[in-house]
Amino acid sequence: MSEREKLLELVEKLHGNVVAMRGLCDLTTDRLNELETSLAESAREAAIADLNQAAREYAEREQLSQWMIAHSFATGHGDTFADLLKELSWQVAELRKALGAVEGRKP
Model confidence at 106: pLDDT above 70: no
State the pLDDT at residue 46: 92
Q: What global pTM score does this model have?
A: 0.57
Q: What is the pLDDT of residue 72?
A: 92
Provide the angle, in degrees to the nearest 10, between the axes of the packed helices 3-70 and 81-102: 20
Mean pLDDT score across all residues of the chain: 86
d(CA 74, CA 52): 28
Contacts of 86 (CB under 8 A, 6+ apart): 76
User: 33-37, 70-74, 101-105: which has the minimum mean pLDDT?
Assistant: 101-105
Quick one: pLDDT at residue 70? 94
